[in-house]
A and B are shown apart, each in its own frame.
Chain A
Amino acid sequence: DVKVTQSSRYLVKRTGEKVFLECVQDMDHENMFWYRQDPGLGLRLIYFSYDVKMKEKGDIPEGYSVSREKKERFSLILESASTNQTSMYLCASSSTTPYEQYFGPGTRLTVT
């Protein structure tokens, strides 16, 4: 069965902290994605990667960076967390046809 896991379901961090969100998929998928979801705004793409060590900016990359050193793992990094980064973060992966994406359970991050 397809599986995308995220390191935490809930996370509370302080303003200015460096935050790492980890995502792992076990499907040998080429593409991996990071989204954030906020009430009234739907899902917004932060970054995606279509190969190891490759990354592309999505709609809202400011304040975030990503790392993909291995095919199965895609990390989202908040260099200096701010309160406006409080959100639900969703990771997804897909094979070479990107439209059938598999999502993880999400990480609800609160920055205080």
Chain B
Amino acid sequence: LAKTTQPISMDSYEGQEVNITCSHNNIATNDYITWYQQFPSQGPRFIIQGYKTKVTNEVASLFIPADRKSSTLSLPRVSLSDTAVYYCLVGSNQAGTALIFGKGTTLSVSS
């Protein structure tokens, strides 16, 4: 499973766009990139998943360059409620595969 590296913490203000980058130099051909969000005292929540180029949903966008060695989670116009830990995961989407969570990025949004 590919190892991921992401910043330990980030700070932002309400209304700003936040970009969290994840490095995964050893990503394999059949690996997907997935991001989770976790609020205090809750379990993680799936945000978005992608394989290449760009994926967008109602919560976030995920940008993946052609070499796939990194990815960027983009949160548009953050609010205080986006304060959470964000995890980047890389691995196969095959049945029987387990997720490996790293330490994540703690995003703090201030007013």
Contact = CB atoms under 8 A, between A and B. Distances in A.
Interface stretch (B19-27, B59-67, B97-105): B97-105
A59 B102 CA distance: 12
Given A42-B103, A43-B101, A96 B46 contact: no
Given A90-B43, A103-B45, A105-B42, A48 B98 contact: yes
A99 B100 contact: no
Contact of B102 (A33, A42, A92, A101): A42
A30 to B, nearest CB: 7
Chain B interface size, under 10 / 10 to 19 / 20 to 34 / 35 or more: 20 to 34
Nearest to B42: A105
Contact of A103 (B44, B49, B91, B104): B44
Interface in A1-60: 4, 30-31, 33, 35, 40-45, 48, 50, 56, 58-59
Interface of B: 32, 34, 41-46, 49, 87, 89, 91, 93-104
A33 B44 contact: no
Given A98-B93, A99-B32, A43 B98 contact: no
Contacts of A43: 44, 87, 101
Given A31-B95, A106-B41, A100 B101 contact: no
